[in-house]
């Protein structure tokens, strides 16, 4: 059965294909032989080719009516090919007709082939029609640009192909049309494109892309058409700042309209395709004379994305992207206004949070979180040193409180990150070179440290009060221990600053540091035993261990004898006092147990 089927396929189809190709090639070879031998003139040769083509089309139709549809369709296709070749030869080889006549003839042949393909439901004839129609401008190139004529013709071809492919279910036609469209645009652009034509070219590119997006298949065409359109549009409009802004707004409008029907990843890609080049535009083209139009475009893009947003990630990205774009524009005109700009964005999103709070609590929390991010940026831009650290810490505390109040763990963790960042920045400032003149304890960084430490204690209290059904003992302990460590860091930094600013010796600094650490650890033990709070006692043991290691590795080998003795004695007293306190605590615990 398989052998018989293969035999039938070879005999009925493959031989037919080879035969019709042989006839087309044979006719062309005969015409050339006849012309080279002087048997016929150029005109007779072209007319003869046209007659043969027409006869093949007529013969194909006769075979179709006789009940051989496949055979007849292939013969018709061969006739159409001969007609295309004859027309091309009449114009390009022999110059018997001018270009307009040749193009019109090819248009007529294409229309006839399309009509036959639709009537006979023949995808082969349809491919012949589409290929021939698009090949006409390539075979008969115009000596001038004529973009309206060429692209108008291509518009008709694409529209006809889309309709025919959809009507008969022939998606391959769209693929052929798409490939020829790209080829034609590249060939024309290489020969004729000039900057003055950018609006015409962009308009037709937009029209072509829109038509290919309406097709049902192939998916590769629908997927790649917008990408190629986007890349080509950016390349064409790049030298024209105002046109680029219009393109960004148009892209945003389209994305907003179709966003509800797209996957989140696609929505993100669409947003990114506008946001990134808009940021580049603000950096490259930002100038005082374009400030208003640039800010207006940023506001328009932001507003349309704000209205159409369905994704939490895009809500944050849209707000941050709009701010950074506006920042680039304003920074080139008035750098001092960038902090106020960030604060304005923060206030705006805070107002949005209040406005939508009753309708959507989740959305309100997201707007508030975005506002806090922008406020952190404003603090960073406006303040420096201790003021910036205090501002970040205060903002982080508010975010933590809001996260606990709304039972949003991600929001609470965001506030924790901001407080941790401010604490790390505080430690870095504490151990930097002190300014001159410097008053120990009565200075900005000590005041900032006191504020952050007390704020950390307050956060421990808030976590203890707002459990929200969760065990917060770990968070409370971390906050208390962090506050104690910040206090130790403050004590150490002030001791260091005192000896540096006073011009004292390193021996005195190291001795004072060791004694202070030992006394601080003893105080922690007393507090931990009094409050019966293990995390503080464990921290005290860690500090005592650090002090002991410092005395053994630094003070003993390096300090002068007097300082060395004082350091060792101070540590010894602290260790004895701590041990006594633990012994006393154990005795009292036994009495209470009895």
Segment 34-56, tens digit of pLDDT: 656 666 566 666 676 678 777 87
Residue 86 shares a structural domain with residue 135: yes
Residue 57 shares a structural domain with residue 103: yes
Residue 371 shares a structural domain with residue 317: no
Residue 466 is assigned to a structural domain of this protein: no
Distance (Å, whole) CA 113 – CA 211: 22
Mean pLDDT is highest, among 46-50, 150-154, 491-495, for: 491-495
Residue 68 shares a structural domain with residue 82: yes
Residue 269 shares a structural domain with residue 135: no
403 or 25: which leads in pLDDT: 403
Q: Among residues 122, 141, 160, which one ends one of the domains?
A: 141
Share of the chain above pLDDT 70, in %: 81
The predicted structure's pLDDT at residue 2:
47
Q: Which residues contact 553 (CB under 8 A, 6 or more apart)?
A: none
Residue 447 is assigned to a structural domain of this protein: no
Residue 44 is assigned to a structural domain of this protein: yes
The predicted structure's pLDDT at residue 278:
96
The three-state DSSP-derived secondary structure of 188-213 is: HHHHHCCHHHHHHHHHHHHHHHHHHH
Q: Which residues form the domain of 342?
A: 337-382
Pick from 160, 149, 156: which is nearest to 188 by CA? 149
Q: Dihedral of CA 321/322/325/328: which sign?
A: negative
482 or 259: which leads in pLDDT: 482
Distance (Å, whole) CA 115 – CA 508: 103
What is the mean predicted confidence (pLDDT) over 165-170? 84
Q: Is a pLDDT exceeding 70 seen at residue 94? A: no
pLDDT band at 230 (very low <50, low <70, confident <90, very high): very high
Q: Is a pLDDT exceeding 70 seen at residue 114? A: yes
| Ranges 8-12, 351-355, 378-382, 413-417: which has the least confidence | 8-12
Residue 80 shares a structural domain with residue 14: yes
Residue 84 shares a structural domain with residue 43: yes
Q: Is 433 left (phi over 0), alpha (psi -120 to 50) or beta?
A: beta
The predicted structure's pLDDT at residue 1:
41
The predicted structure's pLDDT at residue 45:
63
| Ranges 91-100, 254-263, 406-415, 582-591: which has the least confidence | 582-591
First to last CA, the chain: 102
Distance (Å, whole) CA 462 – CA 472: 10
Residue 77 shares a structural domain with residue 131: yes
* Tokens at 232, concatenated: 């080509």
Residue 249 is assigned to a structural domain of this protein: no
Helix, strand, coil shares of the chain, percent, nearest 5, are 85, 0, 15
Residue 378 shares a structural domain with residue 363: yes
Burial letters 373-409, b for 16+ CB under 10 A, else e = bbbbbbbebbeeebebbbbbbbbbbebbbbbbebebe
The predicted structure's pLDDT at residue 468:
59
The predicted structure's pLDDT at residue 473:
80
DSSP state of 435: P
The total of other beta-carbon atoms located within 10 Å of residue 571's CB is 22
Structural contact between residues 201 and 147, judged by C-beta atoms closer than 8 angstroms: yes
Q: Is a pLDDT exceeding 80 seen at residue 74? A: no
Q: Is a pLDDT exceeding 50 seen at residue 26? A: yes
What is the mean predicted confidence (pLDDT) over 376-382? 93
The predicted structure's pLDDT at residue 13:
55
Q: Among residues 141, 161, 192, which one ends one of the domains?
A: 141
Give phi and psi for 39, each to the nearest 5. -70, -40
Residue 270 shares a structural domain with residue 137: no
DSSP state of 334: -
With tokens 């680039």, the residue in question is: 328
Segment 285-308, tens digit of pLDDT: 988 899 999 999 999 999 999 988
Q: Domain count of the chain?
A: 3
Residue 106 is assigned to a structural domain of this protein: yes
Residue 546 is assigned to a structural domain of this protein: no
Residue 95 shares a structural domain with residue 74: yes
pLDDT band at 106 (very low <50, low <70, confident <90, very high): confident
Q: Among residues 309, 333, 357, which one ends one of the domains?
A: 333
Residue 216 is assigned to a structural domain of this protein: no
The predicted structure's pLDDT at residue 490:
93
Q: Is a pLDDT exceeding 70 seen at residue 471? A: no
Q: Which residues contact 278 (CB under 8 A, 6 or more apart)?
A: 248, 297, 298, 301, 321, 325
What is the mean predicted confidence (pLDDT) over 533-559? 81
Residue 3 shares a structural domain with residue 56: yes
Structural contact between residues 302 and 291, judged by C-beta atoms closer than 8 angstroms: no
Residue 37 is assigned to a structural domain of this protein: yes
Distance (Å, whole) CA 373 – CA 381: 13
What is the mean predicted confidence (pLDDT) over 243-248? 95
DSSP state of 39: S
Burial letters 54-73, b for 16+ CB under 10 A, else e = eebbebbbebbeeebeebbb
The chain-wide mean pLDDT, for the chain, equals 82
């Amino acid at each position: 059965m398989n052998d018989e089927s293969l035999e039938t396929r070879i005999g009925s189809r493959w031989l037919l294909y080879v035969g019709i190709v042989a006839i087309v090639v044979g006719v062309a070879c005969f015409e050339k032989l006849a012309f080279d031998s002087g048997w016929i003139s150029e005109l007779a040769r072209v007319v003869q080719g046209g007659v043969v083509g027409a006869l093949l089309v007529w013969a194909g139709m006769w075979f179709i009516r006789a009940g051989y549809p496949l055979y007849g369709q292939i013969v018709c296709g061969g006739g159409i090919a001969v007609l295309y070749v004859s027309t091309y030869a009449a114009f390009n080889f022999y110059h018997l007709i001018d270009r307009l006549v040749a193009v019109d003839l090819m248009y007529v042949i294409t229309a006839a082939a399309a009509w036959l393909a639709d009537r006979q439901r023949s995808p082969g004839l349809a491919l012949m029609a589409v290929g021939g129609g698009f090949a006409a401008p390539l075979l008969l190139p115009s000596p001038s640009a004529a973009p309206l004529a060429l692209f108008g013709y291509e518009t008709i071809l694409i529209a006809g192909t889309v309709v025919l492919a959809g009507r008969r279910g022939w998606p391959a036609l769209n693929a052929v049309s798409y490939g020829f469209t790209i080829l034609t645009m590249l060939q024309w652009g290489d020969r004729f494109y000039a900057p003055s034509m950018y609006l015409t070219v962009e308009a037709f590119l937009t029209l072509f892309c829109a038509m290919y997006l309406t097709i049902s298949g192939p998916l590769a065409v629908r997927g790649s058409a917008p990408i190629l359109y986007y890349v080509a549009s950016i390349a064409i409009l790049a030298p024209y700042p105002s046109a680029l802004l219009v393109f960004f707004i148009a892209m945003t409008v389209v994305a907003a309209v179709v966003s509800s029907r797209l996957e989140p990843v696609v929505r993100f890609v669409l947003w990114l395709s506008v946001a990134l080049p808009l940021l580049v535009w603000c950096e490259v083209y930002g100038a005082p004379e374009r400030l208003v139009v640039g800010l207006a475009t940023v506001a328009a893009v932001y507003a349309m994305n704000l209205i159409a947003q369905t994704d939490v990630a895009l809500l944050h990205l849209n707000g941050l992207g709009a701010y950074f774009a506006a920042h680039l524009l304003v920074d080139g005109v008035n750098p001092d206004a960038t902090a106020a700009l960030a604060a304005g964005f923060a206030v705006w999103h805070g107002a949005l949070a209040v406005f939508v709070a009753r309708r959507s609590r989740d959305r309100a929390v997201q707007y508030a979180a975005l506002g806090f991010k922008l406020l952190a940026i404003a603090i960073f831009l406006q303040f420096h040193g201790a003021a910036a650290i205090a501002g970040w810490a205060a903002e982080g505390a508010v975010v933590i409180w809001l996260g606990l109040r709304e039972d949003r763990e991600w929001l609470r963790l965001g506030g924790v990150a901001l407080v941790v960042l401010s604490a790390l920045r505080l430690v870095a400032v504490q151990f930097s070179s002190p300014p001159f003149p410097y008053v120990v304890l009565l200075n900005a960084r000590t005041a900032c440290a006191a504020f952050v430490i007390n704020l950390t204690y307050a956060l421990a209290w808030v976590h203890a009060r707002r459990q929200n059904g969760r065990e917060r003992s770990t968070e409370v302990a971390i906050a208390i221990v962090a506050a104690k460590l910040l206090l130790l860091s403050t004590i150490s930094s002030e001791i260091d600053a005192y000896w540096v600013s006073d011009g004292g010796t390193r021996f005195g600094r190291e001795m004072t540091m060791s004694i202070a650490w030992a006394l601080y650890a003893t105080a922690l033990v007393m507090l931990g035993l009094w409050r019966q709070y293990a995390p503080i006692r464990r921290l005290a043991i860690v500090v005592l261990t650090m002090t002991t290691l410092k005395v053994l590795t630094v003070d003993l080998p390096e300090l002068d004898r007097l300082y060395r003795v004082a350091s060792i004695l101070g540590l010894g007293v602290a260790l004895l006092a701590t041990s006594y306190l633990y012994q006393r605590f154990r005795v009292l615990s036994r009495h209470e147990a009895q």
